[in-house]
């Protein structure tokens, strides 16, 4: 896990290495200063001249200034390294998600990915900041302060050995209780983000059904659950402060008591006032270092689960990739073959989504696909651009197995207008150029005319420069579908797949779209998945699907004569009124 995260440090390695160096120098300065002060007190007791005091004072100012400079440098490089790591982690995660196949995406919820990219990365950033600074500073301070106190006071420094075990055991118990609580919290963060996501995306539905109060209660319950876990964790962490204060005051009391006794009984021959003063300073440094070390452990504990969740995303490899060698980079034509295809969405699925599919589609042919909800119409067409891979059998485009193609080549020649239409924030031109970044304005207009979108675009004041809100909320469903079809046409594909993408379009416009396809795209293979018979009745062939299988194939007239399912759908949509009469 650490190795995976370390790859994201990259250009911030220098800052990551310099931070411990500056921290070490800062600690050395801070540990030497009490020693110099003790020597100064000793000189004053002995009745030194003013020049000696000035010399010691100048040395102290110099060392304090160096400590300040080293501390500032450590803070600057630490901030650069930690924020740089966070930036690179988010970038690497985003790029990794872009490479995911649909089956990879199915493993993560949207809310979980958002939490990982925000909260989890922030936790790792804070932990890394404390590791390269606090986790270096605290052990060094412990070692140097104890060494200096032993050098100055000898056996009196062993007083720390009575307080360190108490503090160490207490901190270990606190951390062991807090760790499980922090691990539980992050999964609950996902639930909060999921609630927010649903409400933002489905705001109109929530308001239409007057479910605001219910959604508020659901969110409050999720937030209260997170709050309760954090409260329990913070209550346990709060014990850290009184434990630390107890150890600090106990150590100070012992040092003052024993030191004063030794000074009085030996009349300053065994230990001097300056040494006692330095010893008190070192005791504070040692105990404060232990407290800081405990906070480092807590932060690392908090971030451990976050780091694990981030690594899950980074280590998830796309299940669909281009062949490493010999990838085909040209699609000969738009012919499609399904040879003994079986497909299931996961290894643990109870049944096949598609079973025993054998089909040959000629280049330039128009194919309609009809079937009830859940008959696997979308599953069938998603295998063609290799959004999923077949479980058994093979899918061939242009006579070549889709698994042998370079993915970019294949998907540039297979345009899919998915069932869920998505437009991005930006102008109509910017959205259309997703299909072809180099398309001219004339090509945009031509594609929109074929998709029957040009007429309504001309009605907007800014026409093709009209701004589309995120998700296309300022255009109707039918307009959104026509823009998505135009976007696909700009790719000039050999295969065009419309997955129920004219469902929000009226029958007249639907007919005009199909007419323009017949007249202007004769060489393009067209596959139309639909619920309306009228959308596919003029197709060369119509596939009837049920239960993940193709149960009938034929043109409109043939199916109307011999296929009961097609007859039932046709009559229910076209002659339902007459039959009722």
More confident: 335 or 34: 335
78-82, 165-169, 318-322, 361-365: least confident range: 165-169
Tell me the mean pLDDT in the region 431-457.
Answer: 85
* pLDDT for 576 beyond 70: no
Residue 411 CA to residue 396 CA, distance in Å, equals 13
What whole-number percentage of the chain has pLDDT above 90? 2
Average pLDDT over residues 534-545: 85
pLDDT, residue 548, reads 83
Residue 156: the pLDDT is 65
> Could you tell me which residues come within 8 angstroms of residue 535 by beta carbon, excluding any fewer than 6 positions away?
368, 502, 510, 514, 528
Q: What is the pLDDT of residues 96-118, one digit of tens each?
A: 888 887 777 877 777 778 888 88
**The two three-digit tokens of residue 298, written as one number:** 């807590």
Residue ranges of the chain assigned to CATH 3.40.50.300: 336-580
Q: Which CATH architecture fits 336-580?
A: 3-Layer(aba) Sandwich (3.40)
Least confident of 231-245, 330-344, 456-470, 476-490: 231-245
| Structure confidence at residue 102 (pLDDT) | 77
User: Does residue 520 have a pLDDT over 60?
Assistant: yes
Q: Which among 59, 39, 251, 264 is positioned nearest to 146, based on CA atoms?
A: 251
pLDDT tens by residue, 142-151: 777 777 777 6
Which structure tokens are listed for 403?
């698994």
pLDDT: which is higher, 415 or 45? 415
pTM, whole model, 2 decimals? 0.71
Compute CA 491 distance to the chain's CA centroid, rounded to the nearest angstrom: 30
Over the stretch 35-86, which tens digit does the pLDDT of each residue have? Answer: 777 777 767 766 777 777 788 788 888 888 988 998 899 889 999 999 999 9
Cite the DSSP H helix spans in 101-159.
102-105, 110-115, 121-129, 135-153
The pLDDT value given to residue 274: 64
Q: What pairs with residue 366 in β-bridges?
A: 526
| Long-range Cβ contact pairs of 231-236 (< 8 A, separation 24 or more) | 232/181, 233/178, 233/181, 233/182, 233/185, 236/174, 236/177, 236/178, 236/181
Architecture of domain 2-315: Up-down Bundle (1.20)
The whole-angstrom separation of Cα 330 and Cα 333 is 9
Confidence of residue 269 (pLDDT cuts 50, 70, 90): low
**pLDDT averaged over the chain?**
81
Tokens read off for 179: 């760790």
| 47 compared with 87, residue with greater pLDDT | 87
Highest-pLDDT range among 88-92, 187-191, 325-329, 512-516: 88-92
Q: Where in the chain is the domain with CATH 1.20.1560.10?
A: 2-315
Length of the chain: 581
With bands split at pLDDT 50, 70 and 90, how would you rate the model's confidence at 273? Answer: low
């Amino acid at each position: 896990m650490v190795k995976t995260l370390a790859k994201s440090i990259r250009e911030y390695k220098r800052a990551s290495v310099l931070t411990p160096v500056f921290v070490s120098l800062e600690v050395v300065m801070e540990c030497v200063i009490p020693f110099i002060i003790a020597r100064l007190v000793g000189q004053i007791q002995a009745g030194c001249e003013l020049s000696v005091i000035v010399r010691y004072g100048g040395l102290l100012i110099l060392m304090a200034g160096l400590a300040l400079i080293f501390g500032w440098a450590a803070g600057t490089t630490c901030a650069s390294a930690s924020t740089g790591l966070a930036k690179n982690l988010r970038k690497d995660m985003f790029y990794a998600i872009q490479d995911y196949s649909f089956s990879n995406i199915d493993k993560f919820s949207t809310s979980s990915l958002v939490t990982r990219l925000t909260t989890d990365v922030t936790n790792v950033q804070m932990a890394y900041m404390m590791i390269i600074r606090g986790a270096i500073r605290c052990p060094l301070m412990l070692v140097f302060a104890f060494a200096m106190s032993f050098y100055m006071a000898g056996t009196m420094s062993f007083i720390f050995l009575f307080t360190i075990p108490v503090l160490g055991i207490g901190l270990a118990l606190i951390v062991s209780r807090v760790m499980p609580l922090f691990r539980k919290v992050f999964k609950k963060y996902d639930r909060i983000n999921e609630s927010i996501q649903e409400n933002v995306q489905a705001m109109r539905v929530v308001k239409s059904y007057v479910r605001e109060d219910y959604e508020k209660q659901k969110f409050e319950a999720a937030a209260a659950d997170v709050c309760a876990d954090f409260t329990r964790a913070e209550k346990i962490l709060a014990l850290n402060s009184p434990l630390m204060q107890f150890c600090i005051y106990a150590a100070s009391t012992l040092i003052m008591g024993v030191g004063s006794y030794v000074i009085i009984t030996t009349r300053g021959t065994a230990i001097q006032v300056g040494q006692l003063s330095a010893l008190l300073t070192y005791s504070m440094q040692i105990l404060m270092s232990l407290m800081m070390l405990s906070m480092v452990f807590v932060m690392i504990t908090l971030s451990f689960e976050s780091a694990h969740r981030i690594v899950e995303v980074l280590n998830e490899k796309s299940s669909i990739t281009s062949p490493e060698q010999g990838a085909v980079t040209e699609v000969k034509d738009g012919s499609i073959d399904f040879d003994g295809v079986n497909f299931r969405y996961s290894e643990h699925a109870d049944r096949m989504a598609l079973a025993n599919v054998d089909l040959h589609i000629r280049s330039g042919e128009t194919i309609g696909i009809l079937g009830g909800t859940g008959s696997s119409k979308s599953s069938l067409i998603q295998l063609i651009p290799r959004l999923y891979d077949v479980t058994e059998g093979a899918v061939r485009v242009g006579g070549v197995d889709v698994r042998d193609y370079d993915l970019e080549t294949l998907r540039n020649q297979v345009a899919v207008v998915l069932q869920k239409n998505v437009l991005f924030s930006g102008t109509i031109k910017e959205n259309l150029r997703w299909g072809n970044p180099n398309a001219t304005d004339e090509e945009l207009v031509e594609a929109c005319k074929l998709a029957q979108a040009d007429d309504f675009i001309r009605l907007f004041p800014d026409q093709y420069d009209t701004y589309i809100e995120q998700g296309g909320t300022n255009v109707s469903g039918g307009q959104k579908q026509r823009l998505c079809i135009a976007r696909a046409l700009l790719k000039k594909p050999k295969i065009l797949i419309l997955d129920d993408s004219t469902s929000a379009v009226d029958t007249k416009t639907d007919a005009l779209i199909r007419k323009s396809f017949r007249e202007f795209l004769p060489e393009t293979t067209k596959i139309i998945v639909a619920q309306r018979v009228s959308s596919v009745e003029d197709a060369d062939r119509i596939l009837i699907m049920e239960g993940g299988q193709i149960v009938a194939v034929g043109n409109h007239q043939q199916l109307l004569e011999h296929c009961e399912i097609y007859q039932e759908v046709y009559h229910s949509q076209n002659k339902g009124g007459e039959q009722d009469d």
